[in-house]
Amino acid sequence: MRGRRLKPLNCIQQRDLLAAKDTPPEIFRAYGEAYLQAGALDDAINFFQTCGDRAGMAEVKRLAIAQGNAHLLFRIADAIPDSVTEEDWWATATAAVQLGKEAYACQALAKLGQMVEARLSKDKLAAFSFAGESDQERLLRTRQQALERGHAFQLLRIAAAFPGTISREEWQRAGEAALSRGNDAYAALAWLKAGLRDRLEEILRRYTAAPARGEDREEKKTS
């Protein structure tokens, strides 16, 4: 870019270039812009992060939000923690729902729920660990506590480890509990898992001013 002819890179060449100590920042920036234009946003992040290009990272963030891509937003948040707000996570979750990307919607809502939970109470649930877990009673206690408190992220982890253990009715119950505790993000996550689209969208509308843009919906149709 900027008049410079760039050599195409395979994954090994990209790794070596990113690790090189004497590469001028403008080379990283040029590759970041090239990957950005090509839609290779993970690669663009690699180069923008290496040269500290916040403007480039901001453009990737804009696209990640529009595409409902929680994976990219997590990468940006890890690289520049103060650059991703709760509003960004809500917008990403909303776009993901509208574009049919349930996994990304779950990730964004789970992140939001954790952020809200940290403000709500110091009496947090202990982190659930599956390493060497053999105590069935402990699993049942953790599950019951998560249901009662609407801790949808904890339930999501349990459901991933033990498929079929959380019913639709229990997700609905968890959503009601989360709502009563003031954690709208966990309520939205529970409604999503329960298939309660109307209730989910009611919450999303509170936090986002507008739906995903037309070009993003068009992208879904053509993908």
Assigned domain for 69 exists: yes
pLDDT at 209: 64
The helix/strand/coil state of 16 is helix
Domain, as residue range, for 142 = 86-218
Answer yes or no: do 143 and 55 share one domain: no
Answer yes or no: do 197 and 94 share one domain: yes
Assigned domain for 5 exists: no
Assigned domain for 43 exists: yes
- Distance separating alpha carbons of residues 110 and 64, to the nearest angstrom: 17
Tally of domains in the chain? 2
Residue finishing a domain among 58, 84, 110: 84
128-149 pLDDT tens trace: 444 554 567 777 888 899 999 9
Answer yes or no: do 69 and 126 share one domain: no
Residue finishing a domain among 84, 116, 144: 84
User: CB under 8 Å to 42, separation ≥6 — which residues?
Assistant: 72, 75
pLDDT at 122: 53
- Report residue 54 as tokens: 């916040």
- Distance separating alpha carbons of residues 66 and 88, to the nearest angstrom: 10
Answer yes or no: do 100 and 118 share one domain: yes
The helix/strand/coil state of 183 is coil
Answer yes or no: do 39 and 129 share one domain: no
Answer yes or no: do 14 and 69 share one domain: yes
Answer yes or no: do 100 and 71 share one domain: no
17-37 pLDDT tens trace: 999 988 999 999 999 999 999
pLDDT band at 1; cut points 50, 70, 90: very low
Answer yes or no: do 23 and 111 share one domain: no
CA-wise closest residue to 95 among 212, 220, 195: 212
